[in-house]
Structure 1
Amino acid sequence: MTLVAPQIRTSRKPRTVVGTSGVLRRRPRLATVLTGAGIALVPWMVVLAKTLPQTTEVSNWSTAWIGLDALLAAGLTGTGVLMRRKDPRASQLAAATAALLVMDAWFDVTTASPGDLPTALTLALAAELPMAVACGVVALRKQ
């Protein structure tokens, strides 16, 4: 909720449990779920690596790429606007945009045809990844 209204705070107290030393500790349910989900993806990746076809036809290819570029445009523009306003939410948007830029570079390179690979690599190395680093710097900066 802090992205929309940073002044709103919830009054719920974190769930706590008594640890082995008798000290109350916060129960990291979400952390446990996220860690478990990440670990569960490893065997799933093995299944995918063994079962997915090397090539496939995609019916909404242009929609997927235009949608990703629209997200990048919104993220980059929004980050710039929030930075200009010295809004602390700029770091959150910059972090999301950095992740999208890295993902865009990855998919551009890995889905490029042999003739388009040099262009995809050039764009990844000269534009997408440097912009991702710039967004990462913004994301880590204290506002």
Structure 2
Amino acid sequence: MSADLAHEEHGENHSAAGGDRGVTPPRNVPHWTGWLLLALGVFTLPWTANLAVYLPDKSEAAHYNASWVGFDLLLCALLIRTGWSLLHRRAYVEVTAAMTAVMLFIDAWFDVLSAPTTKEFIVALGLALCVEVPLGVFCLWVSIRAEYERRRREELMSALVRRLLALNRRTAARRGHRLP
């Protein structure tokens, strides 16, 4: 029996501040992947600094309209999927809600920074501040609440399984059987 299971079986709790059980990363993801992603993020900083210095301030883009239409279609799909998932109480709605929030923040960022005229800049800034950013914050709130609820249900189910196992062991012991 692993040490984690032994601690769980005996009711030991690895608590974080506030009394909630600490959440460990899934065992099917190797520990080194976190270090790899962290290193890649750090090593990307000089690349980004290089881009900031050497990229031109203005550039024409081929298929500019298609790229924005595709981005907005993806954003629509995520909004619809998140709403549908909430209405149907689907598992892992926190993932689509978080993805939707990120897309909204990216949309606001690029709309504001790519506005070619002062008038379009003001409209983009107004939409960013009144629609996209608040909606993104709302989606993050949904994501956090959904994750909290998923963890709460998971802990309740774990407690129920532990109780059933204990009851099963006691019943087996009374009958003279020994369970692993």
Shared topology, TM-score over 0.5?
A: yes
| Secondary structure in structure 1 of the residue aligned to 2:119 | coil
Structure 1's unaligned 5+ residue stretches are 1-12, 16-26
Distance 1:84 1:48 in 2: 43
- Deviation of 1:105 after TM superposition, in Å, equals 0.3
| Secondary structure in structure 2 of the residue aligned to 1:53 | coil
Larger fraction in helix: 2
Answer with 1 or 2: which has the greater Rg. 2
Distance 1:129 1:92 in 2: 18
- Normalised by the length of structure 1, the TM-score is 0.79
- Normalised by the length of structure 2, the TM-score is 0.64
Q: Decide which of 51, 59, 62 is 1:48's aligned counterpart.
A: 51
- Deviation of 1:88 after TM superposition, in Å, equals 2.1
Structure 2's unaligned 5+ residue stretches are 1-26, 150-180
Q: Residue 118 of structure 1 aligns with which residue? A: 122
- Deviation of 1:41 after TM superposition, in Å, equals 1.1
Identity of aligned residues (%): 34
Distance 1:52 1:102 in 2: 23
What's the Cα RMSD here? 1.7
- Write the mapping of 1:20-31 to structure 2, written as runs, cut at 5 A: 28-31=31-34
Distance 1:68 1:96 in 2: 13
Larger fraction in strand: 1
The alignment status of 1:92 with 2:91, answered yes or no, reads: no
